[in-house]
Structure 1
Amino acid sequence: MRIGLAGVGRIGAFHAETLMGLDAVDELVVTDLDVDAARAVAERLGATHAATVQNLLASGVDGVVVATGTAGHAPLVRQAVAAKVPTFCEKPLAATLTETVELAELVEASGVPVQVGFQRRFDRAYQRVAAAVRAGELGTVHTMRANTHDQSPPHPAYIPTSGGLFRDCSVHDFDAVRYVSGREVASVFATGANTGAAFFGEAGDVDTAAAVLTLDDGILVTVTATRYNGAGHDVRLEVMGSEGTLGVGFDDSLAVTSAEPGAAQPRGPRHRSFMERFLPAYRAELTHFAALARGDAPSPCTATDALQAFRVAEACELSRREQRVVTLDEIASPS
C-alpha cells in the first residue's frame, strides 16, 4: 500500500515515522511547501518525495494523510476528495465554522472515506470507559469531568493561528465526551483567564479555561484546560454513574501529588507532551486508517464528528466572550 503524507512539521514528521513502521504501508510519499524539509524527512526515513500535493495525488497513492498547518487542511481535503483518495486529516478539519460545515457536507456527499485525527478514540482507557457506558456498567451516568492540561505553553507565534484554547485544546475533550457518552451537547457555559504570558491576551486568547456542558440527556460535564501545568502533561476523564465511576489517566504517570499524609504517590515518569502521552493511540489510529484506505474499515471519526466537536468549541468561545449560556442551536450546522 502507498500512503501519501502532506506536511512534515512536528506532527507530520511524527506521523511519517509511525506510517513507516506499519506493516500495511509499503511506501510512503511525502510532500511539504518546504521542499527541503520534505526531502530531508524522505531521505531520513527511506520514503519517497513528491514536489507538490498535486504530484503526490497523481502518483497513485491509496490514501493520504493531511498533517499541515490548520490553514492547509480544508484545501488539501478538498483536493483529496476530488481525486477520490481516502483521507486522514489532523484536527481541525478547517479553520472556521463556516468552512467546516461546508467541508463536512462535501465529504458526506462525495462518499470518499475521511477520518479525522481525534486520537483519544484509540486510547485503550477511553475505549474501555466508552464500552462500560454503552453496556450500562456504571448505571445512570450523571456527571463527567474532563481535563487537558499542557505541561508548558506553545511558542507565542502559534497562538494567533491556533483558533484559541477551546478550539485547539479542549476540542479533544469535546470529541471524547461525545464518543464516551454517545450523546450530544445541548448547551455550554464557559469562562477563561490569563495568569501567564501576555501573548495569549494579545491574541485574544486565554491560557486557562473552564466550561460546563449540559448533554441532551441531562448529564453534566465539566471541562478544564490550561497551558501551564508544570507537573506534567495531564489528560484525564472521569465518568460517574449511579453504580460506579471509571477514570482515564489515573496511572503511574498521573501529574498530581497527593496532600494526604502517608498517601502513596504515582511512580511516574510523568508525560511531558501529548505525543508522548498518546503514542500507542496514534499508532492504532493510523493502523485503522490503513484499513480504511484498503476498504476494510469504516471511518471511526467522520467529518461530521469533527464538525460536532468544533461546534461545541465555537459555543464555548462565544459563551466566554459574552459570559452567558449558549445553546448548540445557536451554532451553525449542516442544512
Structure 2
Amino acid sequence: MRIGLIGTGRIGSFHAGVLARHPEVDALVVADTDRDRAALLARRTGARAVPDAAGVFAAGVDAVVIASATAAHAELIGRAARAGLPAFCEKPIALDLPGTLDALRAVGRAGTVLQLGFMRRFDAGYGAARAAVRSGALGRLHTVRTVTMDPAPPPAAYLPLSGGLYRDCLVHDFDMVRWVTGREVTEVYAVGSDAGPAMFRTVGDVDTAAVLLTLDDGTLATASATRCNGAGYDVRMELAGERDQITVGLDARTPLTSAEPHGPSAPAGPWPGFLERFAPAYEAELDAFVRVARGELPNPCDGREAWRALLIAEACELSRRERRPVTVEEVAKEAGGDPGHDPSATP
C-alpha cells in the first residue's frame, strides 16, 4: 500500500515511524506546512516528502493519514472523501459541531471510510475492561470513574486551537465511557477551574475540570482532568459493579503515592506523557487502519463515534458556562442533524 501522511509534528512523526515499519506499507508520502520538518522526517523514515497536501493526493496514494493542525482536519477529510480514499484522522474532526457534521456528511455522500484516532480503544487495559463489563463479570455496573491528568500544561499558543479541556482532553474519557460500558451518556453536569496558569483564563479555558455523567441505564460516571499534575501522566478508569470492581491504568508507572504506612511509594519512572503511555495502542490503531483500508477489517472507530463523544464535550462546555445540567439530546438538536451511520463501521 501507498500511504499519504499529512502533518509531521509530534504525533505525525510517531505515525510515520509506525507506517514506515509496517509490512503492508510499500511507500510513504509525507507533507507539512513546515516543509523542512517534512523533509527531515522523510530522510529519517525513508519516506518521500512533497510540498503540500495537494502533493500527497497527487502522488497516487491508496489511503491518507491526517495528523495536521486541527483547523485543517475537516477540509482534508472532505478532500480524501472526494478522492475516494480511506482516511484516518486524529481527533477532533473539527472544533465545532457544524464543521464536524459537514465533514461526516461529505464522507457519507462519498461512501468512503473515515477512522478516528481514539487510541484508547486499542489499549489492552481498556479492552480487558470492556470484555469484563460485557461478560457480566462485574455484575450490574453502578459506578464509573475516569481520570486524565497531564504532567504539565501545553504551550500557550496551543490553547486557542485546542477546543478546550473538554473537547481536547476529556473527549477521550467520554469515548471510553461509551465504548467500555456500551451505554450512552444522557446528561452531564460539568464544572471547571481556571485557578492555575493565567494563560487558561486568557483564552476562556480551564486547567482542571470535573464532570458527572448519567448513562441511559442509570449508571453514574465521573470524569476529571487537569493540565497540572506534576507527579506525571496519569490516565485511569475504575468500574464498580455489584459483583466486582476493576481498574485500568494502574501499574508500576502510575504516578500515585500511597499515604498508608505500608502502601506503595512513588514510582521511580512515572509515565511522562501520552505517547509513552499509549505507544502500543497508537501502533495497533494504525495497523487496524491499514487493514481497514485493505478491506480486511470493519472500521473500529468511525466518524459517528467521534460525533457522539464531541456532543458530550459540547454539553459539558454548555453546562460549565450556564452552571446547570445539560442533556446530550439538547445539544444534538441544537446542532441540527445527525451524521448518519458509516456502513463500514463495526456494529
Query: So what's the TM-score if we normalise by structure 1?
Result: 0.98
How far off its partner does 1:85 sit? 0.6
How far off its partner does 1:110 sit? 2.5
Task: For residue 264 of structure 1, give the secondary structure of its aligned residue in structure 2.
Answer: coil
Amino acid at match of 1:25: V
How far off its partner does 1:264 sit? 2.8
- In 2, the alpha carbon distance for the partners of 1:299 and 1:142 equals 30
Partner in structure 2 of residue 109 of structure 1: 109
Matched, 1:325 2:325: yes
Q: RMSD across aligned C-alpha pairs, in angstroms?
A: 1.1
Partner in structure 1 of residue 247 of structure 2: 247
Partner in structure 1 of residue 206 of structure 2: 206
Task: For residue 190 of structure 2, give the secondary structure of its aligned residue in structure 1.
Answer: strand
Are residues 155 and 105 of structure 1, via their aligned partners in 2, closer, same or farther at CA, if it must alter by over 3 Å? Answer: same
Structure 1 portions without partners, runs of 5+: none
List structure 1 segments (4+ residues) > 6 angstroms apart after TM superposition. none
Amino acid at match of 2:194: N
Task: For residue 144 of structure 2, give the secondary structure of its aligned residue in structure 1.
Answer: strand
Between stretches 27-36 and 231-240, larger displacement belongs to 27-36
- In 2, the alpha carbon distance for the partners of 1:230 and 1:218 equals 35
How far off its partner does 1:267 sit? 4.4
Are residues 110 and 268 of structure 1, via their aligned partners in 2, closer, same or farther at CA, if it must alter by over 3 Å? Answer: farther
- In 2, the alpha carbon distance for the partners of 1:19 and 1:180 equals 28
Partner in structure 2 of residue 138 of structure 1: 138
Partner in structure 1 of residue 309 of structure 2: 309
Between stretches 262-271 and 228-237, larger displacement belongs to 262-271
How far off its partner does 1:15 sit? 1.1
- In 1, the alpha carbon distance for the partners of 2:151 and 2:282 equals 20
Between stretches 119-128 and 268-277, larger displacement belongs to 268-277
How far off its partner does 1:57 sit? 1.4
Partner in structure 1 of residue 197 of structure 2: 197
- In 2, the alpha carbon distance for the partners of 1:262 and 1:244 equals 24
- In 1, the alpha carbon distance for the partners of 2:268 and 2:245 equals 23
Aligned residue pairs, count = 335
- In 2, the alpha carbon distance for the partners of 1:91 and 1:55 equals 23
Amino acid at match of 2:74: A
Matched, 1:22 2:18: no
Per-residue deviation, residues 186-205 of structure 1 (Å, max 9, x unmatched): 00000000222101011000
Per-residue deviation, residues 241-270 of structure 1 (Å, max 9, x unmatched): 111111101110111100001113364421
How far off its partner does 1:106 sit? 2.6
Give the alignment of 1:85-104 within 5 angstroms.
Answer: 85-104=85-104
How far off its partner does 1:98 sit? 1.0
Q: Does the 8 Å CA contact 2:75/2:103 hold for their aligned counterparts?
A: no
Structure 2 portions without partners, runs of 5+: 339-347
Partner in structure 1 of residue 345 of structure 2: none
Query: So what's the TM-score if we normalise by structure 2?
Result: 0.94
Task: For residue 312 of structure 2, give the secondary structure of its aligned residue in structure 1.
Answer: helix
Amino acid at match of 1:188: V
Q: Does the 8 Å CA contact 2:256/2:267 hold for their aligned counterparts?
A: no
Between stretches 173-182 and 29-38, larger displacement belongs to 29-38
Matched, 1:234 2:224: no
